[in-house]
Amino acid sequence: MAALKAQIVEQLNLQEVKPEEIGDDQPLFKDGLGLDSIDALEIIVLLQQQYGIRIANPEQGPEIFYSVRTIAAFITAHQTNK
């Protein structure tokens, strides 16, 4: 998950956040890390560029993007299913 945190920080240009400061289960949006809808789109781009994963059902977004752990689980599940 450390690598994923670093990728998120870089992709989202979070210059005042260190990857290790992001909790595994910390909510990424709203009151958590404070990400917004454009950040969500950038994470979609990240998944596509870094992992070759496309999100087939946009309605899953809030669940997948809840925290670094949920994103990591989604990546793992998708790669296992390949």
Partner 1 sequence: MHNGEAYITGSCVIRNNRVYRDGTLLWEAPQEQELPEFLRGGYDHFSGQYPKFHKMDPLSKLGWLATEVLLKEQPLNYPAEKVGLVLANRSASLDTDLRYFDTVKDIASPALFVYTLSNIVMGEISIRHGFKGENAFFTADTFDAGLMSAYVGQLFAEEAIAACICGWVEVMGPVYDIFLFRIERSGSSVVFNADNLQKTISI
Q: Which residues bind to partner 1, rule: CB under 8 A? A: 12-17, 34, 38-39, 41-42, 45, 48-49
Smallest separation (angstroms) from partner 1 to the CB of 44: 8
Tokens standing for residue 13: 């240009």
What is the rounded distance in angstroms from the CA atom of residue 80 to the CA atom of residue 49?
Answer: 18
CB 68 within 8 A of CB 24: yes
Smallest separation (angstroms) from partner 1 to the CB of 45: 5
Place of tokens 């990728």: 7
Smallest separation (angstroms) from partner 1 to the CB of 51: 13
Which one, 14 or 71, has the nearer CB to partner 1?
14
